Amino acid sequence: MHKFAAVQMCSGLDVTVNLREASKLMAKAAAGGAELIVLPENFALMARDDAGRVAAGEVDGSGQIQDFLAEKAQSLKAWIVGGTVPVMAGRERVFARCPVYDPQGRRTAYYDKIHMFDVQVGGAESYHESARTEAGGTPTVVTTPFGKLGLAVCYDLRFPELFRALVTQGATCFAVPSAFTKTTGQRHWDMLVRARAVENLSFTVAAAQGGHHANGRDTWGRSMVVDAWGEVVAEKRDAEPGVVTGVFDPLQQSRLRGKFPALSHRKLV
């Protein structure tokens, strides 16, 4: 069995301050025995605007945020899913890149968020993520000691075909760094996370931003760990920073998939 942790944060405008807070929460997760630690989307920076996110963009493989993640993975001896990091995708654009580091501090894989959050939520609440963020195009699964880990980010939760693609590549568990708005989170967060878990019979760790941010945005929080039967193993029941952990048993999941072979019953693939 393996212990997984979701870190919940209320990240602000100062990268150094955010990294300090992330470090404390990651240390707490590791002290509790977590082998996999998942950070939320934009964990190192909830920028004031798109220009601020681009200004903080790092070159691939190097920079304050990426160096921090590598060092923490090595010092904590844990696998780390590094939320998302703004990585340059040209002069005025960035990828929302989700990197994965092993306990030796090596980046083993990364995923660039595919689905851009271009929506109008309410009368005055709208988002246009694609204005400065370059969409990825490749579903990513990482081979780990606890199985194959599929990666998705926030708005990706609304696209079940992505998760089917991850399962087709062998994923048995998902990591989903997120920053759901308060408006959408209170209506859809729980059902979307649980649906992606149960329909794919896959253990899911969803780490979220929560609270009122310095850029004026409000996020829902409620980070959770959900098992392959759609049961909530652990949940942060508020928007405050913290850590939730859950135990993943690959053998139990394998037996469940054998007894309830919905994935092999698919007709449209």
Joined tokens for residue 79: 């696998």
Joined tokens for residue 34: 């977590």
The reply to whether 41 belongs to the active site is yes
Q: Would you say 127 and 121 are in contact if contact means Cβ atoms under 8 Å apart?
A: yes
Q: Check the CA dihedral 244-245-250-255 and report its sign.
A: negative
HSE at residue 119, side-chain half, CA atoms within 13 A, is 11
The reply to whether 98 belongs to the active site is no
Among the options 113, 129, 134, 182, which is catalytic? 113
CA 117 to chain centre: 15
Among the options 35, 41, 58, 129, which is catalytic? 41
Among the options 72, 98, 129, 154, which is catalytic? 154
Q: Are strands 173-178 and 147-151 parallel, antiparallel or unpaired?
A: parallel
The reply to whether 259 belongs to the active site is no
> How many whole angstroms separate alpha carbon 35 and alpha carbon 53?
30
Active site residues: 41, 113, 154
